[in-house]
Structure 1
Amino acid sequence: MKRAIPVVVLSIAGLVPVWRYEPSVGAATSTAEPASTPSAPSSAGSSSGTVVKGTTIQTEKGPVQVQVTFSGEKITAVRMLQQPNHPQTAAAVPKLVAETLKAQSADVDTVSGATITSEAYKKSLQAAIDSNGASAKTSASSPASASPASAAQTVSGSTVNTDKGPVQVQVTFSGEKITAVRMLQQPNHPQTTAAVPKLVAETLKAQSAKIDTVSGATVTSEGYKESLQAAIDAKG
C-alpha cells in the first residue's frame, strides 16, 4: 500500500500539462482567423453613401470584382467581392485600395507580382466609377423636371434582337427633354454592363440617339440607339 501512493501522485501530476495545454489550442485558432479575410482593407464608413458594383473581370487567375462606395463623386471605400485565392493577390489588394482612395480614380499603379489582378481590379473599378457618374448626371438633371409629376412621360422603346441578346430601353421625358434612360433588357455580358452607363450619359448630353458607339460593345450600342430612337419617335 505504501508503494501505491507515489504512483497515484505521479499520474495526477502527469495530467497537469494536458489541462494547461488545452486552452492554448483555442487561442491559436482565434489569432489565425484575420488572415482569411483578404477584403479587410475596405475603408471605414462603407455603410453610408452610394454603393456600386463594378463588372466581373475574368482572368486566368480567377474572377475579379470590386464594390465601391461613393459620397457624391468621392470614393470612400472599396471592397473586393471576388478575387483570386492567391497570396500575392491578398498582399496586393490593400495597396490597390489605398492607392484608389488617394488617387480618387482607377489611375493607379500595378502592384508588382500581381499584374493580372491589378489590371482586372482597375477595369472593374473604372466600370463602377462610370456607373456612378452616369447616375449622378441623371440625378443632376432631375431638378429641371420640378414641374408637376404629370408633365413627366415614360416611353418604352422597341425590343431590338441582337446576336448578343435583346436590347430595350425605357426613356423618361420632361416635356421634350430626356431626363432618364433605363435598360429594360440587355445582354448579360461585362462589356455591355460597362458600356451602358456611357451610352446613357451620352444620351442625356446629346438629347438624341445620335451618339457614338462604345468601343468593344458595338452590337449593344447599335441596339441601344435603335430602341432609343423608337422611344423618341413614339414620344412624338
Structure 2
Amino acid sequence: MKRAIPVLVLSVAGLVPVWLYEPSLGTASTEASTPSVSSSAASGSGSGGTVVKGSTLQTEKGPVQVQVTFQGTRITAVRMLQQPNHPQTTAAVPKLIAETLEAQSADIDTVSGATITSGGYKESLQAAIDANANAESASSSSASPSAAAAAQTVDGPTLQTVKGPVQVQATFEGEKITAVKMLQQPNHPQTTAAVPKLIAETLEAQSADIDTVSGATITSGGYKESLQAAIDAKG
C-alpha cells in the first residue's frame, strides 16, 4: 500500500502538464476581396463616344426606340431602349444591329417576320444619325473663334398649324446656314422623327427648298415657311 502511493502521485504529476497545455488555434480570415468593376466595364463600353437617342416610334406591336453611340460620324454601338415584347422582335434585334454596324447607316434589310419592328428601328436609327450629323456640323462651325464671332442667329416667325406651332432658328456665317434649331414644334412622334431630316436637308441644300417629310406634311410646311422667313430676314 505504501508503494502504491508514490506511483499514484507520479501519475497525477504526469497529467498536470497535459491539463495545462492549451493548443494554439490559428484565426482564419473570413473577409474575401471584392473585385472592383470600372464604370466603363460596367456600362459595356470603354471607348466612350457620343450617345444619341433616336425618336420613339409607336408601332402596332409596341414602341420602338434605339440609342446609338458614335465616334465622330462612325456608328460604334446600337442599343434598343424600347421594343415590342415578342419572340420575333427578340430574334430580329441582333440582326438589325449587326447590319447597322456593317452598313454604317439605316439603309439595311428588313428582317423577315419582324417587318413592323424593323421599320420602327430604321426610322428611329435614322433620326439618331441625323441628329448626330447636325451636332457634328454645329460643333465644327463653332470650333473657330473667328467663325463664332461672325455668326448671326435669326429667329423665324411662329407658324400656327393644325398640329401646333412651328418656329425655327437659323444660324448663319456669311451666306452659309451652319445650324438650324426648332424653337417650337408639335408634340407628335411624326414631328420628332421628321425634324432631324428637315434640318439635315436644310444644311445640305443651304435653302428652304427641301422635300416634305412623308407623314409630317403639315410640320414640314410650317418649318420651310419659318425657315424661309429667317433667311429673308438675314438679308
Counterpart check, 1:66 vs 2:66: yes
Deviation of residue 100 (structure 1)?
1.8
- Cα distance in 2 for partners of 1:234, 1:82 equals 42
What TM-score results when the alignment is normalised by the length of structure 2?
0.72
- Cα distance in 1 for partners of 2:130, 2:208 equals 20
- Cα distance in 2 for partners of 1:92, 1:155 equals 45
- What RMSD, in angstroms, separates the aligned Cα atoms of the two structures? 2.4
Report the secondary structure of 2:215's partner residue: coil
Q: Cα 1:223–1:120, aligned 2, differ >3 Å: closer, same or farther?
A: same
Residue in structure 2 matched with residue 84 of structure 1 by the alignment: 84
- Cα distance in 2 for partners of 1:213, 1:113 equals 30
- Cα distance in 1 for partners of 2:46, 2:87 equals 25
More helix by share: 1
Residue in structure 1 matched with residue 22 of structure 2 by the alignment: none
Deviation of residue 63 (structure 1)?
0.9
Residue in structure 1 matched with residue 50 of structure 2 by the alignment: 50
Residue in structure 1 matched with residue 150 of structure 2 by the alignment: 151
Deviation of residue 114 (structure 1)?
2.7
- Cα distance in 1 for partners of 2:169, 2:176 equals 14
Matches within 5 A, 1:12-31: none
Residue in structure 2 matched with residue 13 of structure 1 by the alignment: none
Is the CA contact 2:142–2:148 (under 8 Å) kept in the aligned structure 1? no
Deviation of residue 126 (structure 1)?
2.0
- Cα distance in 2 for partners of 1:95, 1:208 equals 38
Residue in structure 2 matched with residue 16 of structure 1 by the alignment: none
- Cα distance in 1 for partners of 2:205, 2:102 equals 33
5+ unaligned residues in a row in structure 1: which ranges? 1-42
Is the CA contact 2:134–2:179 (under 8 Å) kept in the aligned structure 1? no
Deviation of residue 128 (structure 1)?
1.6
Indicate the structure (1 or 2) with the bigger Cα radius of gyration: 2
Is the CA contact 1:46–1:77 (under 8 Å) kept in the aligned structure 2? no
Count of paired positions: 193
Residue in structure 2 matched with residue 27 of structure 1 by the alignment: none
Is the CA contact 1:142–1:179 (under 8 Å) kept in the aligned structure 2? no
What TM-score results when the alignment is normalised by the length of structure 1?
0.71
Q: Cα 1:89–1:180, aligned 2, differ >3 Å: closer, same or farther?
A: same
- Cα distance in 1 for partners of 2:178, 2:150 equals 12
Residue in structure 1 matched with residue 165 of structure 2 by the alignment: 166
Q: Cα 1:146–1:222, aligned 2, differ >3 Å: closer, same or farther?
A: same
Q: Deviations over 1:21-52 (max 9, x none)?
A: xxxxxxxxxxxxxxxxxxxxxx9427721212
Is the CA contact 2:49–2:69 (under 8 Å) kept in the aligned structure 1? yes
Report the secondary structure of 1:137's partner residue: helix
Residue in structure 2 matched with residue 229 of structure 1 by the alignment: 228
Residue in structure 2 matched with residue 17 of structure 1 by the alignment: none
Q: Cα 1:206–1:121, aligned 2, differ >3 Å: closer, same or farther?
A: closer
- Cα distance in 2 for partners of 1:196, 1:164 equals 14
Q: Cα 1:208–1:117, aligned 2, differ >3 Å: closer, same or farther?
A: closer
Q: Cα 1:81–1:202, aligned 2, differ >3 Å: closer, same or farther?
A: same
Residue in structure 2 matched with residue 103 of structure 1 by the alignment: 103
Matches within 5 A, 1:145-224: 146-147=145-146, 149-224=148-223
- Cα distance in 2 for partners of 1:46, 1:227 equals 42
- Cα distance in 1 for partners of 2:44, 2:58 equals 28
Q: Deviations over 1:53-92 (max 9, x none)?
A: 2221222221111111111121111111111122332232
5+ unaligned residues in a row in structure 2: which ranges? 1-42
